Structure 1
């Protein structure tokens, strides 16, 4: 098990508009009905997103599980809260049981691990052994396929299959607010393309697709952040960051497979393995 998974929250400097709740979570209003929920004292600096309208809320990712996110969601969410994990990595499935049957991306690899309406991720999907996190089994409330729409009250979120970081990753596109909830497809800091199933070819394909489909003023909210100038804030990237990632991946794919890390821009590095060249 990895050591130093947490640091004292008292040592963290939060942005002025990020409020500390429950002695662990950083909470920031993205707009009047969307909040980012961060874990700045956890080494992966997870961020989940609570998207609300009317009586409904959608929690996109349920946190690392180092602390229970459920009381915070109960305070900020609406009468009905639905959890939707972006992918099966352990740091996005913490607290999943607290929200009842989950919405799950309707992908063949996830259908293959369903048994009687429940899912148990494989060890390779979950990767929790690195932090001694046991694999959960949880109930599926509904399946939603790529290119379908999740409705949260009157809000419409288009489900996009965005492999690269992992083959089961999905993101949400909210056209009305020009916002991409990118999860782990792109984020600040060390971007992982060296884990099982990660694929540089998928990264290139999806980057090019997003650059074609998204407006240049897109706001990309991410599932991980890093301190900038010593301050923790909800991580936001943009169209130029997607373009930079596309260019770096395209350059790498011209080389022989290898394992390493290269800078993407001043806010991101890309970690990759020899296997991610051919996946």
Structure 2
């Protein structure tokens, strides 16, 4: 284990109302059926979401895998649990092996990974080598395409293809609660548009599309967060944050290919590289 990837949990400050579980996970109840599950002692400060109704739960992203998220899901979720990773990067697939029922976005780039009923992303999509990780192998129980509706009990989620950070990224839109579960498209901290497969043009196009139909009072929940003035908490962003991100990304594109990092606002920066200007 690379020590620099974790800090002692005793050094972590949690915001009021955020509870500690398994001496690793931070829990924030968004409502009585929605639980944000963070990993504040891990350097990427992952956040996954357990979304439940009736006898069913959806686990949106499966954590970093530094610790198993399964005991938390078993305690707070419903008997029937489906895991749904937002994309194939290692920090979203870490706990995938602990779940029998797995859903995946029905995109050509992901369908191409399936062989003999098993999916295993290549390193260019997994990106786990620098943390000494190898890609998991898992079976997909259900494929669901962009525009389709995912039912979790009586809850309804629309699958939205949101490329930019990666070509296989998807988000969930829950109209009833006015929430966009945005995964790595938007979150508090450093947005990555410099990794393999990232595209600034796709990032901008995705944000333009979202801003055209999302309500102005949307709550955007990201997949990473940094410690705020009150401690670690679920990363919540707004319509205005999406506008800020689009404005800065468009300015970066207009400047032409180069490597760099730009501040978006007080809660976000974006890192980018010359290759991400194409595509």
User: TM (normalized to structure 2)?
Assistant: 0.98
Q: C-alpha distance in 1, partners of 2:74/2:228? A: 30
Give the SS at the match of 2:87.
coil
CA change 1:43–1:230 in 2 (3 A) is: farther
Look up the match of 1:115: 115
Give the SS at the match of 2:139.
strand
Give the SS at the match of 1:202.
helix
User: Cα deviation per residue 1:215-251 (whole Å; 9 max; x = unaligned)?
Assistant: 0000001100001126111110000000000101111
Q: C-alpha distance in 2, partners of 1:147/1:256? A: 33
Q: C-alpha distance in 2, partners of 1:70/1:141? A: 18
| Alignment root-mean-square deviation, CA | 0.9
The question of whether the paired residues in 2 share the 8 Å contact of 1:101 and 1:138 is answered with no
Moved beyond 4 Å, runs of 4+: none
Q: What runs of 5+ residues in structure 1 fail to find an aligned partner?
A: none
Give the SS at the match of 1:253.
helix
- In the TM superposition, residue 16 of structure 1 has moved relative to its aligned partner by 1.2
Q: C-alpha distance in 2, partners of 1:117/1:152? A: 24
1:1-279 to 2 correspondences below 5 Å: 3-229=3-229, 231-279=231-279
Q: C-alpha distance in 1, partners of 2:101/2:139? A: 5
Give the SS at the match of 2:141.
strand
Q: What runs of 5+ residues in structure 2 fail to find an aligned partner?
A: none
User: Cα deviation per residue 1:110-156 (whole Å; 9 max; x = unaligned)?
Assistant: 11110122101011000000100111100100000001011000000
The question of whether the paired residues in 1 share the 8 Å contact of 2:26 and 2:39 is answered with yes
